[in-house]
Structure 1
Amino acid sequence: MKIVVTGGLGFIGSHTVVELQNEGFEVIAIDNLSNSSIEVLDGIERITGKKPLFEHIDLREKAAVQDFFKKNNDIAGVIHFAASKAVGESVENPLLYYENNLNSLVYILQELTNLPTANLIFSSSCTVYGQAEKMPITEDATIQPAMSPYGNTKQIGEEIIFDVAQVTNLNSVLLRYFNPIGAHPSAEIGELPLGVPQNLVPFITQTAFGLRKELAVFGNDYPTNDGTCIRDYIHVVDLAKAHVIALQRLLQKQNQEKVEIFNLGTGTGSSVLEVITAFEKVSGRKVPYKVVPRRSGDVITAYANTDKANNVLGWKAQFTLEDALGSAWKWEQKVRS
């Protein structure tokens, strides 16, 4: 079966391509290489023994999307990752986020729903919950006003999918993930942001390696145990496997509704300082850091209730925080060697 993975050379996308190929799917990876590298294809090939088909497409270009689907009208499903994903950057440049994250989704749906079957796995986010009132967060938690343009694009993206599914052949699974970290255990692929990292763990690993002078901890005056924000950190390989399971659910017509929603996390919250401490333990390296003012758009606490994913989807996170941090450190050392 032919599966399209948009953002297929990105962090989560590349790990999902690996898991799909391991399950025997034929994968076409689409990427505009704005925050990824063509060398990722080689890493995927070294892990799986097969290089996925690759299309260099900017999904904001409607004609390019139409042309792709004309040539590939036998697609069994699309896993849609391609999006800008940094909270802070979205606050500074909201129009980039609305254009990139929403236009690309609309153009894909316009073409996908013309096919005989339209199966979509959507890369959503716990940011859709805003600052949730209760922890852990369940799928039926009230959707709060978004705290950032990035979060808003995920909320709007979900609404678009619900609206389209009402009147077309679209079936979709929305996967709301918490904080993906880590790298493939082979250290052949991992998180390699271009420029200054926007996420915590690559900033930690780069600081530990000596590429950065110190880590910025955004605020230590939050109402948490140590004053720093709490997140649910999930190993990217666990996350990738969940996408394959969700896809198989649609392909086998096991979905109970046209649009289903699942949280993907570990169910455990860890503060920024706890992550730093855990990294220092697994790596044997000290991570110099300084506390700086809070960052606009950050919620205080977010961790998942994973009962629905565990019981309905049949998926459960297998790796620990230490496993994920250890793999991220192994990847960082490999990249810099």
Structure 2
Amino acid sequence: MRVIDPPMDCWHGRVDAEEGELGRRWHQLVQPLSPTSQGVVLTGFACDAGVARNQGRVGAREGPRALRAMLANLPVHGQAQLSDAGDVVCEGDALEHAQARLSGLLCGLLERGLFPIVLGGGHEMAFGSFGGLARHLARRHPAPRVGIINLDAHLDLRLAQRASSGTPFRQIAEDCAVRGWPFHYCCLGVSEFANTPALFERARRLGVTWLRDEDMGETRLPRTLALLERFLAGVDQVYLTICLDVLPAAVAPGVSAPAALGVPLVVVEALIDRVAASGKLRLADVAELNPRLDIDGQTARVAARLVGRLAQRRQQAQTAGAALAGALA
């Protein structure tokens, strides 16, 4: 396991100099993480050891670089600062060391008041991401109510002798039990045909909130948002994780396990908007981008749109919260 410096060679692209400040793109704004960095910070988790252990198709370790390259040309819409903290790189099968390193890195970023978005990488990253938030919160709250919202075709609650991309939320549940914390887990987009009855039974025992992909079409969006609202009302801090295989295979083919049905992109974006608007979002990640399996960068393009939306909506929520606080002062 190692941490590499931000790959700034990824941050290049079109320059519309004639348009001035309003013509800027992400590659013109992103800077390496520094002591004065504020706002959104990106970090990569270059790992697919968990996917390999889960008998999936490897290649997600190349996801962070491909995602940065697609993010580079996004237009800047109000972002004041964007920083890049580099990549946690998993060497060989050293998954647990990479997860621990990711946790430490994220804890440090959260301590500085930054909003991290982790670019994956297999979904084994979720255990490291949660660990970073948990370490940060444990210094401030005896038993924080952390809500884990996973947009995913898979519950990822599998029992196994070794950690993998199929076990992170079962590991988080066990970690919460050790800490004496409640386990608040909401998984949206679950495919009945990609999860065994054993996983659904474990989800029931753990009190997991979930919705199936077939119940999350556009016409059912109001009901989906109502369920999400109820979940958000019961937590104080939110970790949002998006597995790209929640999307239809026609939208996101570049993943280890493409969805036969999936959740429409417009629904996924509406969920992101609602979570960000809650003011409770502290950390997010995007998992399972596999450039080896992508078609003409299609999945990377969708992933970049989601990351851009997360950054934009989070900043809008912060601005609205600051304005409200000022009005009440």
- Do Structure 1 and Structure 2 share a fold, with TM-score over 0.5? no
In the superposition, the TM-score normalised over structure 1's length comes to 0.36
In the superposition, the TM-score normalised over structure 2's length comes to 0.36
